[in-house]
Structure formats: structure tokens, C-alpha cells
Chains A and B, each alone.
Chain A
């Protein structure tokens, strides 16, 4: 075929324009659908992040946790008990040094949990309280966006959980999480001592697997217990002192909804817009 350079350039130019324009035009058409599906099930309409009322009534379950800090202060040792129980049933290893530390639930000082609150002329008592810190199970979790393998994902009930099988240990999620709620297994949790006993897991729960070296882990809102209609372990332990409330925040009749409606609560780093599902009653 005899084609002039001028014609060739014309065709090439036209196809380039068509190639660039077609996907964006398609995107425009599809946009309506995409937005609808991403906001279904949760109360995370875009306006929500700016403190406005959500446009439509949220549907589906969204689990939330409220921690009454004063109750933990009154019941000395309760917070430690919750942490120990959580770590025991999930075979969380205790490596005995802060560098390798793995934590699902831990005790933190006020100023570390709420760095964006004013600490000027602070209330002395507040800074002595034992604050339990846990994965916030955000409505818009940055870790899920960062995970390249979708090992961490948002479950239908609003909990952010991890599929340890899929974790490749890239730790993007740890960098993305603004709450430091994720831990990396630098060492194998199954290391043994000279007697062939596990060094780092003292009281093994054989119903729950361990992890392996190179896997990130975090609180899973006790997904395995929720399946059996049991509350998360920490909530169960704190139930005696009524120090923790857990339930579906989208259900106006649930205990947590009532607590959130009637009590003043604060969340960690609310300005980031991740919409944490863990609330602190001060």
C-alpha cells in the first residue's frame, strides 16, 4: 500500500486521541456505579468526613467499641488482664523486647494516644489513666488501601481484618496506619528453647494458629469469637466492670449506640478522616 507520511501521521494522531479519550469517557459513565457500591453498607458517604450528617441512612453492620477509661482506672489491673487474655487466645508471642514487640491490645498513655489534643495545662489525673489501645477498625482504613495483596481488608461487619495467608510482609500497611496498631513478626513466634518448648508463647491456644516470620498482624475484633456469638475477649473480661461496650453502631438499639449517644467520647486522630470505630469515654 502506498501511504503518504502526512496520512500516516493523521491516522496516528486520531487514534492517539481516541485511545486517550475513550477510557476517561467510559470512566465518567461508570462513575455513578462505582460510588454507589463503595458507600453501600457503611455510613461513609464523603460528606461524613467533614462532620456533616450522612446523606442517607447507613445500612448493614458496623462494629464499634467504646472504652470507659475511668472504669479501668477504678479497677486496677483490669486493663492488664484484658491484654493478657487477648494475647493468650490469639497466641501473640512475647519476645521480651520493645523492638520485636507484637501487640494486638496494649496500654498506652494519654499523650501518646491523643497527640493532637492540647496538653497545655493538662489534667494530671488524665495522664495517669490506663488507656487501652487497639486497632481502630476505621471506616476508611488506610492500611487496606496500602496493602498490595489485599491481605488486610474490610469485612462486611465493618471490622478490618487480616488474611495472614496472603501477607507478604511488605509492611506498607504499617507505614499507612496512623495509629501504630500493626506489628511485624521479625522473628519466628515458634522459636524453641533447649528443652523443645516454645520460648515466646507460654500458654498456647491450640484453636488459633500462630503466625510466621515476615507476617504483619493486628487485632481482628475476635472474628473467630464473633462467629460463635461471643463478644471480643477484652470486652468479655471488662464486662464485669462495664468498662467496654461493643456492638453494631448502625443499630440504634444496640448497647454501643446508646452509650455513644449519651456519653462524651473522643476518638484517636479524628482529623485524619479515617473514622475510627474505637471510642474513648473520658
Chain B
């Protein structure tokens, strides 16, 4: 092989540069998102862990219940009732998309398109 040494050294440098982000950030997940929780409400429709991991499934279920099955029964948690709706339910307590939704969504690089149609409570349009 001509210039074998140079090629191998070059390859090693190339691989190093390409994988730089992986080993440089290894073990560091970045700053943990700090979501702002509603102040006056202590209880969500499901427990925190469920909401953290599965809220999107819940929203899909609600959408199918409400829209496709026409079952718009309200949810009762404690002594409060909620519309099963992102816009008219969730966002009544979670009054800021920026301080609540976006915190995790940006962190996880998840870009849901809910807000293309639904409204934010305050930062409207």
C-alpha cells in the first residue's frame, strides 16, 4: 500500500472528529429541564410519572374519545372537573407553554405540531 501510514493516521483522525460529539458529551445529558408546575393545583389527571412518559398517548386517547366516539364526558379529579382537551383542559392549569411544554420538548428535541391549530393560553399567536 502506498502511503499506508498517512492513510491510517488520516482515518484515525477522521473517525475521532466524527465521533467527537459522542465521547465529548458522554455521560452528560445536559441541564435537566425545569418545568413550571401550576401553583394552585396539586393534582393532575394522572400521576406525575404517567404524565411524564405517557401524556401523548393520553392526548391521543382523549382525541379519539371526544371526536370519534363523541364521548365528551368531563374528567373529575378531586373536586375539579376538566374538559378532556389539550386547549380547554390541560392548558387551563398549565398556563404557559414556554415554561411547561417547551422545557422538555426542546430538551428531547420533540416537535409536536399541536400548536399549529390549537391555541396557547397566554402567548396566543
Interface residue ranges, A against B (CB under 8 Å): 153, 155-157, 161, 163-165, 190, 192, 196, 198, 204, 206-207, 209-212, 223-224, 227
Q: A206-B124, A209-B87 are in contact. Are A156 and B70 (CB under 8 A)?
A: yes
Q: A227 — which chain B residues lie within 8 A by C-beta?
A: 70, 72
Contact A198 B125 (CB under 8 A): yes
Pair A209/B119 contact, Cβ less than 8 Å: yes
14 A-B pairs besides A155-B70, A210-B119, A212-B117 with CB distance below 8 A are: A156-B70, A161-B67, A163-B68, A190-B116, A190-B125, A192-B125, A198-B125, A204-B124, A206-B87, A207-B88, A209-B87, A210-B117, A211-B117, A224-B72
Kindly identify, within residues 83 to 125 of chain B, every residue whose CB is under 8 Å from any CB belonging to chain A: 87-88, 113, 116-119, 124-125
Cα A190 to Cα B118 in complex, Å, equals: 11
Within the complex, which residue of B70, B117, B119, B124 is in contact with A223, where a contact is CB–CB below 8 Å?
Answer: B70
Q: Which of B63, B72, B116 gathers the greatest number of chain A CB atoms within 10 Å? A: B116
User: Which residues of chain A come closer than 8 Å to B68, judged between CB atoms?
Assistant: 153, 155, 163
Please name all residues of chain A whose beta carbon is closer than 8 Å to the beta carbon of B70 when the two chains form the complex: 155-157, 223, 227
Nearest CB on B from A246, distance (A)? 16
Q: How far is the CA of A94 from the CA of B63 in the complex (A)?
A: 27
Alpha-carbon distance between A207 and B89 when the two chains are bound, in angstroms: 10
Shortest Cβ gap from B56 to chain A (Å): 13
Task: Tell me which residues across on chain A come within 8 A of B88, comparing CB atoms.
Answer: 207
For A210, list chain B residues within 8 Å (CB). 117, 119
A residues less than 8 Å from B113 (CB atoms): 212
Q: How distant is A202 from chain B, measured CB to nearest CB, in Å?
A: 13
- When chains A and B are docked, how far (Å) is the Cα of A207 from the Cα of B116? 15
Q: Measured between alpha carbons, how far is A209 from B125 in the docked complex, in Å?
A: 12
- Name the residue in A156, A157, A165 with the highest tally of chain B Cβ atoms < 10 Å from its Cβ: A165
User: Closest CB of chain A to B122's CB: distance in Å?
Assistant: 11
- Indicate whether A164 sits within 8 Å of B117 (C-beta atoms), given known contacts A209-B87, A223-B70: yes
Within the complex, the shortest CB–CB distance from A193 to chain B, in Å, comes to 12
B119 cross-chain contacts in A, Cβ below 8 A: 206, 209-210
A209 near B63 (CB under 8 angstroms)?
Answer: no
How far is A165 from B56 in the complex, measured between Cα atoms in Å?
14
Flag if A209 contacts B118 (CB, 8 Å): yes
Choice from A163, A196, A207, A212 contacting B67 with Cβ under 8 Å = A163
Q: What residues on A are CB-neighbors of B118 within 8 Å?
A: 209
Cα A196 to Cα B87 in complex, Å, equals 22
Contacts of A207 in B (CB 8 A): 87-88
Please name all residues of chain B whose beta carbon is closer than 8 Å to the beta carbon of A163 when the two chains form the complex: 63, 67-68
B5 to chain A, nearest CB (A): 56
Docked CA distance A144–B32 (Å): 46
Q: List 25 A-B contacts (CB under 8 A).
A: A153-B68, A155-B68, A155-B70, A156-B69, A156-B70, A157-B70, A163-B63, A164-B117, A165-B63, A165-B67, A190-B125, A196-B125, A198-B125, A204-B124, A204-B125, A206-B119, A207-B88, A209-B87, A209-B117, A209-B118, A209-B119, A211-B117, A212-B117, A223-B67, A227-B70
**Nearest Cβ in chain A — how far from B60, in angstroms?**
9
Interchain CA distance A212-B117 in the complex, whole Å = 6
